[in-house]
Amino acid sequence: MSLNKYIFVTGGVCSSLGKGVAASSIAALLEAQNFSVRMLKIDPYLNVDAGTMSPYQHGEVYVTDDGAETDLDLGNYGRFTTASYSKDNSVTTGQIYEEVIRRERQGKYLGKCVQVVPHITDEIKRRIYLIGEKPDVDFTVVEVGGTVGDIESIPFLEAIRQIIHEKTSQNALSVHLSLLPVVSCGEVKTKPTQHTVKAMREIGIQPQVLICRCTEPMEPEQKKKLALFTNINEDAVISGHDALYTIYEIPINYWKEGINEAILSRMGVTQRTPDLSKWQTIVDTLKHTDKRVRIAMVGKYIQLEDAYKSIDEAVRHGGFENKAKISFKKIDSEEAEKLSDEEFAAQFDDIDAILIPGGFGERGINGMVKAAEFARKNKIPFLGICLGLQIMVIEYARNVLGYEDANSSEFRPESPHCVVSLLEEQVDVTQYGGTMRLGLSESRIGKGTKIYEAYGTESILERHRHRYEVSNRYKQELRDKGLIISGMTPDGELVESVEWPDHPWSTGVQFHPEFTSRPTKAGPLFREFVKAALEYRANRKQSPNTAE
């Protein structure tokens, strides 16, 4: 019999404290005890989904199997737990109001005055229960985006207050994440945390567990002081200090801090000893390995750390499987366009592989094309994802086919050689949200290719998020000039992956393999990409003309 219990994770003081990792780590601990766990992300913004939001505003867009464009925290959920995630696991204010207004227009409220309470809060609760009341679910961990005190989150917190009241504190529990800042004199201050807990209590929610983000482990006196002023038992004040090696050691840290017992004892559940061996293996690998690779990521959203979150993590997963530490050199493709050839080449002096991630719009495209050309000609391991594949094709058309004006119709629709173009059904699209090729779909892989060596099968399933494709008008000409089209859609119509001829390791894919990569089982392409980078590094170090 399932438990159907709820854990609500909120944040205070400031944003970007790591609520997603905290919530995921709690879920990972529960899962490590053989509890059935699901996760749900609540985003208070008015957008219906994250699909049209700039990476500068909100980080990457994470795509689920069923094609939902969601917040990047669902990527954390997928990496820390084994549960599957869909559109039901992501809730936004836009979705809530859209549904309530739709019902009002259909007369479903029988002429009542539609209000935030109870109609909006009831719809929020319905979305939460849609996940949590399933017969196979023990715990549902719900993360509420934003910061307590934001006007946008008030309806969600009110709905959570109602759930905790209705279900009782044994079945619904509040975990609050806060910041312990360090002032100029080096003293750790607890006052902001006292105030954020006070704000939660004013809403009607008494947090039962408090996680304090800090750089160093908390002192017992700090825990005692916070317990006194927040009405939270001292054993439930948890030090959320920085991890030493990787975010994947946080479940281990939380276990040592006693968060497992703090949560389960308050929910009337007997604690089980968790199996944390998979997380410990990752920590031990990073702690003891002396193998390192340096990856250049050439993209247009480099300034924001979270813009390529899943790719960053997937490359690190590839490092885990190859027992290697990964470091990144993020190169702004727009700035790279301004460099001379000598300055551009110097950017890659200490690089073992090059990766071009996804993106939209013309800005910085020529810098990426230049990076692809550099990787192809200098035989540097290369991985192109989504836009990265299209860049490979554009570069090849310009420099091998001889079409100097080759481009994508996304960037230069007037170009006579648009080797990348819209699908016919996309030409007249005027609504951009949710209209791309989205979600899990099949690719057929050719034997004898690098991608086949990685996956070991002729049929793979990966998630897509794109609107433009390699133009079929140029497909045969590209093949005739040596470009290896290593993957196609099952109907043989659309290009799914390409490789360069006479190159040690190069693969471009139209899909997003980063979304299915896990720390305990790296995506095959990332595993092989890092392996190729290690080989390139070893050869580079042996070269008499190469200075390390």
What does the pLDDT look like over 260-293, one tens digit per residue? 999 999 999 998 999 999 999 999 999 999 999 9
CA distance 547 to 541: 7
pLDDT at position 51 is 83
Residue 425: pLDDT over 60: no
pLDDT at position 544 is 53
Catalytic residue among 123, 386, 503, 528: 386
pLDDT at position 547 is 38
Helix (H) or strand (E) holding 103: helix 93-105
For the chain, what's the residue count? 548
Integer-rounded Cα radius of gyration of the chain = 25
Residue 242: pLDDT over 90: yes
Instruction: State how beta strands 506-509 and 382-385 pair.
Output: parallel
Residue 227, CA distances (Å) to 79, 219, 259, 275 in order: 32, 13, 15, 30
Percent of all residues in the chain with a pLDDT value above 90, rounded to a whole number: 88
Cβ atoms of 382 and 373 within 8 Å: the answer is no
Active site residue 212: no
Query: Where does the pLDDT of residue 548 fall: very low under 50, low under 70, confident under 90, or very high at 90 and above?
Result: very low
Residue 225: pLDDT over 50: yes
Cβ atoms of 415 and 423 within 8 Å: the answer is no
Residue 101: pLDDT over 50: yes
**Residues with Cβ within 8 Å of residue 274, at least 6 apart in sequence:** 29, 32, 33, 255, 260
Residue 427: pLDDT over 70: no
pLDDT at position 428 is 46
Active site residue 410: no
Query: Amino acid identity, residue 247?
Result: I
Q: Rounded mean pLDDT of 444-465?
A: 97
SS (H, E, C) 439-497: EEEEEEECCCCHHHHHHCCCEEEEEEEECEEECHHHHHHHHHCCCEEEEECCCCCCEEE
> How many CB atoms are located within 10 Å of the residue 359 CB?
22
Q: Rounded mean pLDDT of 443-471?
A: 96
The dihedral region occupied by 386, where left means phi > 0, alpha psi between -120 and 50, and beta the remainder, is left
Query: Where does the pLDDT of residue 33 fall: very low under 50, low under 70, confident under 90, or very high at 90 and above?
Result: very high
Catalytic residue among 249, 469, 514, 528: 514
CA distance 92 to 528: 37
**Residues with Cβ within 8 Å of residue 247, at least 6 apart in sequence:** 21
Of 386, 378, 387, the C-alpha closest to 333 is: 387
Residue 436: pLDDT over 80: no
Query: Where does the pLDDT of residue 63 fall: very low under 50, low under 70, confident under 90, or very high at 90 and above?
Result: very high
Of 521, 21, 481, 489, the C-alpha closest to 242 is: 21
Of 506, 518, 529, the C-alpha closest to 322 is: 529
Q: Rounded mean pLDDT of 357-373?
A: 93
Percent of all residues in the chain with a pLDDT value above 70, rounded to a whole number: 97
CA distance 426 to 410: 12
At 15 the three-state DSSP class reads: coil
What value does the mean pLDDT of the chain take?
93
CA distance 33 to 28: 9
The tens digit of pLDDT for each residue in 153-170 reads 999 999 999 999 999 999
Between 109-123, 132-146, 171-185, 421-435, the lowest mean confidence (pLDDT) is in 421-435
pLDDT at position 462 is 97
| Strand partners for 142 | 8, 40
Q: Rounded mean pLDDT of 455-460?
A: 97
pLDDT at position 543 is 67
What is the CB-side half-sphere exposure of residue 436 using CA atoms within 13 A? Answer: 23
CA distance 377 to 502: 10
Cβ atoms of 178 and 147 within 8 Å: the answer is no
CA distance 66 to 322: 31
How much is the pTM?
0.93
Residue of higher predicted confidence among 505 and 16:
505
pLDDT at position 184 is 79
CA distance 159 to 117: 9
pLDDT at position 304 is 83
Of 397, 389, 496, the C-alpha closest to 446 is: 496
Q: Rounded mean pLDDT of 50-79?
A: 89
Active site residue 123: no
